Amino acid sequence: MSKRLVVLLVALMLSGAAPAQQWPVKPVKVIVNVAPGGVADVTMRVLGARLTDTLGQPFVVENRAGGDGYIGFEAVARSDADGYTLVYSPGSSMMIAPHLVKRADLDPLKAFVPVAATGRVSLYLVTYPKLPVNNLAQFLAYARSNPGKLNYGTPGNGTSPHIATEVFSREAKVRLNHVPYKGAGPALKDLLGGVIDFALDPGVSLPHIKTGKLRLLAVAGAQRHPDYPGVPTIGESGIKGVDGGPHFGFYAPAGTPRAVIERLNREVAKVMQEPVVRQRFNVLAVDMAPPMSPEAFAAYVKSESDRYAKLLPQLGIVQ
């Protein structure tokens, strides 16, 4: 092999590593495809602040809500696949919505590459305090004696809280009315105002429980909340299968250099181990995702997508 050829091969190998070594050299835009105020938005801002410090470039968070997450997806799919425009999405937008929103021009599972999983929420059965119930048993009795009269809000059709509430409705044998919103924040606003009766809320309601503006009846998760040890899980009542859905995560446009994806995965994993991040996630009642490589996260996304493809028709959830 000639000396010139050896030099050329070395240069090619180094050029493949260069994007990861140099990235980022300018601000990174991260589009959150839900409204401000929800858990996905807040967790991204926590992570964005730490990534800004550790990587030395601003991580600029921009909300693009609506269209079951597709407005945000569209903005990122049109961007260059260079690691400077990413999407941070709830699992429901990536693994559930594609089974409800059939669009030939944009399939999120093909348009994006999974980068890093961050966490998933427990859900909290929270009521407007004027509803005449004080615990889950009273709530179920009231719902059964008033079929179809209780309105519940969710961040949108096909979101994890929507699916969880429909599973709850099916398993508890109660009839409820769904009111979809464009994000958890708007749903919380109407719950505080008494426009809707209750929600399986992804944690944004917790500060209002302490002030008495809302009432917590049960937790849809594996464990009771440490701040409310007297509040049972829904599973303890014998109602099974009600959970917070798949993990949030970072995604990059398909074609983004692999070295950039792997570096961002490593950097996210590092900041998620920091005490300040873990404390904020705990306050938000977010269960942190176990460390996953990009390949492991991609396998998780496919597995969850396949599971929801079967569950949604069973629940009668359609677009």
- The lowest-confidence range among 99-108, 253-262, 305-314 is 99-108
Residue 64 in tokens: 């693009």
- Predicted confidence band at 35 (pLDDT cuts at 50, 70, 90)? confident
Query: What is the rounded CA–CA span in Å between residue 80 and residue 67?
Result: 22
The edge-to-edge listing of strands for the beta sheet with 151-154 is 177-180, 151-154, 198-201, 123-127, 215-220
Instruction: State the pLDDT at residue 9.
Output: 47
Residue 138 pLDDT > 90, yes or no? yes
Q: Which residues contact 288 (CB under 8 A, 6 or more apart)?
A: 118, 119, 272, 278, 281
Mean pLDDT of the region 138-163:
94
- The lowest-confidence range among 3-17, 77-91, 143-157 is 3-17
Q: Where in the chain is the domain with CATH 3.40.190.150?
A: 24-120+246-315
- Predicted confidence band at 42 (pLDDT cuts at 50, 70, 90)? very high
In b/e form, how buried is each residue of 132-149, taking b as 16+ CB within 10 angstroms?
ebebbeebbebbeeeeee
Query: Hey, what amino acid is at 45?
Result: R
Question: What percent of the chain shows pLDDT beyond 90?
Answer: 74
Instruction: State the pLDDT at residue 4.
Output: 57
Query: What is the rounded CA–CA span in Å between residue 193 and residue 202?
Result: 18
Query: What is the rounded CA–CA span in Å between residue 155 and residue 201?
Result: 9
Residue 156 pLDDT > 70, yes or no? yes
The edge-to-edge listing of strands for the beta sheet with 85-89 is 59-63, 28-32, 85-89, 249-253, 112-117
Q: Where in the chain is the domain with CATH 3.40.190.10?
A: 123-237
Q: Which residues contact 72 (CB under 8 A, 6 or more apart)?
A: 31, 32, 33, 34, 63, 64, 65, 87, 89, 93
Assigned CATH class of 24-120+246-315: alpha beta
Mean pLDDT of the region 111-119:
98
How far is C-alpha 172 from the geometric centre of its chain's CA atoms? 25
Q: What is the CA radius of gyration of the chain?
A: 21
Residue 182 pLDDT > 90, yes or no? no
The per-residue pLDDT for range 60-90, each reduced to its tens digit, is 999 999 888 899 999 999 999 999 999 999 9
Strand 249-253 to 112-117 pairing: antiparallel
- Predicted confidence band at 20 (pLDDT cuts at 50, 70, 90)? low
Q: Which residues contact 106 (CB under 8 A, 6 or more apart)?
A: 70, 73, 74, 77
Instruction: State the pLDDT at residue 18.
Output: 52
Instruction: For domain 123-237, give the CATH number.
Output: 3.40.190.10
Q: How many CA atoms lie within 13 A of 143 on its CB side?
A: 22
Mean pLDDT of the region 227-255:
94
> What are the backbone angles phi and psi of residue 167, rounded to the nearest 5°?
-65, -45
Query: What is the rounded CA–CA span in Å between residue 42 and residue 206?
Result: 14
- Predicted confidence band at 183 (pLDDT cuts at 50, 70, 90)? confident
